[in-house]
Chain A
Amino acid sequence: MAQTAYTPRRTHAYSVVALLACIALLEAVCHAGWVRPTTLVAPSAMLKAMIVALREPATLADFGLTLGEVVTATALASLLGILTGLFLHATPRLRRAFEPFIASYYALPLFALYPVFVVVLGVGARPIIATGVMYATMSVVVATLTGLDRVPHVFHKVARVHRLNPFKAAWRVLIPACAPEILGGIALSVGYAFVAVIASEFLLASHGVGHAIVDAYNTFQTERMYGLVLALALLVVLINGGLRRFRGRVAEGGP
């Protein structure tokens, strides 16, 4: 059935050529003066603006802050997600009832709850981290459930033979057995944490990369805005590439 299936995920020579062609076209269009420089700036100008922006200590601090929020949110979401996954897996009836909630979870603009977090957690990084946790947790829950479903029945038997209590069984047997799926889910959750953190900074906060981009937009610094977007996009692509490699390695080494 799947003998011809392949997924062109890796960047292929053609795709690099296509990208270079697009960049060249954009550069030409901008230099020909067909678009106003307040709307679209040439790729070379974007690159220059990015380098200028990244030389400022304030911008670097913004990037550091955003990354720190993403890492913290992912760590908390992983813990919360694995625990929730284990709990839901142990209670199949509850899990089946939860399915519609899981399915519509990511359609919601949950960062509208940000004001609630601000009142509870105060101004600053903490409400943003809370929003990130909210978004990132669900993908870990789903991955943990998928992983637990794939654990062979004999593993449960072994845990019972050794008379492990449920906590020990989870820690010694179940979690290690579905580590590849869980790690895959955590890698995915980094992306969700990024989206939530950047979106909250963008719409509601007064710090971080998201806010720096809005600030550049509102003050008509178009070049700086494109430079920051480019820097952030490159960062995300880099992190995703690394995580994908990591996931591939984990999947190969898994049981």
Chain B
Amino acid sequence: MTLARTRRIADIALLSFGLLIIWEAVSIALGMRVLPAPVQTATRLVALLAKPGFLRDLRATGEAYAIALGLAMGGGVGLGLMFGSSRVLGETFEPWLHVLVAIPKVTLYPIILLLFGLGDAAKIAFGVLHGLPTVAIMTAGGVRSLRPIYGKAARAMRLKRWSYVRRILLPAVMPEIVAALRICFALALLGVLVGEMFASTRGLGHLLMASIGVDDMPTVMAVILLLFLFAGTGSSVLLAVVHRLKG
């Protein structure tokens, strides 16, 4: 088991190395000014991490992302439990959640800006808009596939509604909630970043747009690399949790 694990990690390292070589080759073919090479990108990232301005951007994005993720998960799980438990509510509102998932949400961003104003609230709302519908749909699906015996047991024990939700419903749909968290983790990040890329004055998204504007590709690549490392680590950890929960 541990041997298989080490082998897998070695494979991932090998693949990462291969991808770095491809990146290097493409960068040589296109020229460093167009696509900075891995070493150049990593050096820029290290240099950026020592800059107070960059750390301010990082913090702005981090805070907005944490709030958006929390709201999307809380709201999504709450709505999902409601839609999953009540057939009428589910049939009334869930089709519109599916529509919301399908629409390219960037187009809705001007509307969000008009409603929430320029600033942090808009990008948080945008992150929530990206994550919440999927979480609600997945949670509701989890509730619907529960075995009816759980409800019967709760009735036999005369649980109050709140105790039923807390003691039975939530633990039973926990695998779906963690799976939803993994997807929401990525969607909310994308939402916040895209929110920052348009009509924003701080955050990593704004830094990306500003760097594109002055043709500073090393910074663009450094930010993308940082985001990739963060998203990759987070989603791998959550994937491991999902596998453990499912046994």
Q: Is the beta-carbon distance between B107 and A198 smaller than 8 angstroms?
A: yes
Q: What distance in Å separates the Cβ of A54 from its nearest Cβ neighbour in chain B?
A: 16
> Quick check: is A55 within 8 A (CB to CB) of the other chain?
no
Given contact pairs A15-B95, A104-B231, A120-B34, A198 touches B104 in the complex (Cβ within 8 A): yes
Asked whether, in the complex, the Cβ of A104 is within 8 Å of the Cβ of B92, the reply is no
| Interface SS of chain A | helix
Q: How far is the CB of A41 from chain B (nearest CB, A)?
A: 10
Q: Which residues B185-208 have CB closer than 8 A to chain A? A: 185-187, 189-190, 193-194, 197-198, 205, 208
The answer, among A17, A38, A107, A120, for a CB contact under 8 Å with B186, is: A107
Q: Find chain B residues with CB under 8 A from A98 CB.
A: 15
Whether B220 sits at the interface, judged by CB under 8 Å, is yes
- Most chain A beta-carbon contacts within 10 A, residue among B110, B141, B198: B110
Whether, in the assembled complex, B94 has its beta carbon less than 8 Å from a beta carbon of chain A, the answer is yes
B93, A100: Cβ atoms under 8 Å? no
A36 and B69 CA atoms in complex are apart in Å by 30
The answer on a CB contact under 8 Å between A40 and B99 is no
Roughly how many angstroms separate A9 CA and B14 CA in the complex, as a whole number?
43
Interface centre among B15, B30, B103 (most CB of A within 10 A): B103
Interface membership of A154, Cβ < 8 A: no
Give chain A's interface residue range (CB within 8 Å of chain B): 35 or more
B50 interface residue, CB < 8 Å from A?
Answer: no
Say whether, besides A97-B14, A109-B190, A5 and B235 are in contact (CB < 8 Å).
no
Q: A115 vs B221: C-alpha distance in the bound complex, in angstroms? A: 11
Contact of B8 among A97, A107, A115, A216 (CB under 8 A): A97
Are A7's CB and B141's CB within 8 A?
yes
Complex: how many Å from CA A225 to CA B110?
8
Across-interface contacts of A161 in B (CB, < 8 A)? none
Chain B residues in 8 Å Cβ range of A213: 107, 110
For A239, give the chain B residue with the smallest CB separation: B102
Q: How many positions in chain B have a CB within 8 Å of any CB in the partner chain?
A: 64
B30 interface neighbour in A10, A116, A225, Cβ under 8 Å: A116
Taking CB atoms, residues of chain A closer than 8 Å to B63 are none
Q: Is residue A106 contacting chain B, with contact meaning CB distance below 8 A?
A: yes
Query: Which of A17, A93, A109, A113 counts the most chain B CB atoms within 10 A?
Result: A109
B147 to chain A: which residues have CB within 8 Å?
Answer: 1
Tell whether, in the assembled complex, residue B94 and residue A8 are in contact, meaning their CB atoms are under 8 Å apart.
Answer: yes
A11-B95, A107-B190, A113-B224 known; A237-B102 Cβ under 8 A: yes
* Docked complex Cα distance between A5 and B109 (Å): 35
B209–A18 contact, CB under 8 A?
no
Which of A38, A101, A194, A237 touches B99 (beta carbons < 8 Å)?
A237
Q: B106, A15: Cβ atoms under 8 Å?
A: no
Contact call A198/B106, Cβ cutoff below 8 A: yes
User: Does the CB pair A199–B106 fall under 8 Å?
Assistant: yes
Q: Which residues of B contact A236 (CB under 8 A)?
A: 102-104
- A205-244 interface with B by 8 A CB criterion: 209-210, 213-214, 216-217, 222, 225-226, 229, 232-233, 236-237, 240
Query: Contact: A39 with B92, CB < 8 Å?
Result: no
> Cα distance A204–B105 when bound, in Å?
16
Q: Which residue of B lies closest to A114 (CB)?
A: B212
- Chain B residues engaging chain A, CB cutoff 8 angstroms: 8, 11-12, 14-15, 19, 30, 34-35, 88, 90-96, 98-99, 102-111, 113-115, 141, 144-145, 147-148, 182, 185-187, 189-190, 193-194, 197-198, 205, 208-209, 212, 215, 217, 220, 223-224, 227-228, 231-232, 234-236, 239
Cβ contacts A to B, 26 pairs, < 8 Å: A2-B145, A4-B145, A7-B94, A8-B95, A14-B91, A15-B95, A15-B96, A18-B92, A40-B114, A93-B11, A94-B15, A96-B11, A101-B19, A103-B182, A103-B232, A109-B194, A109-B197, A116-B35, A120-B30, A195-B105, A203-B209, A213-B110, A225-B111, A229-B108, A233-B103, A233-B107
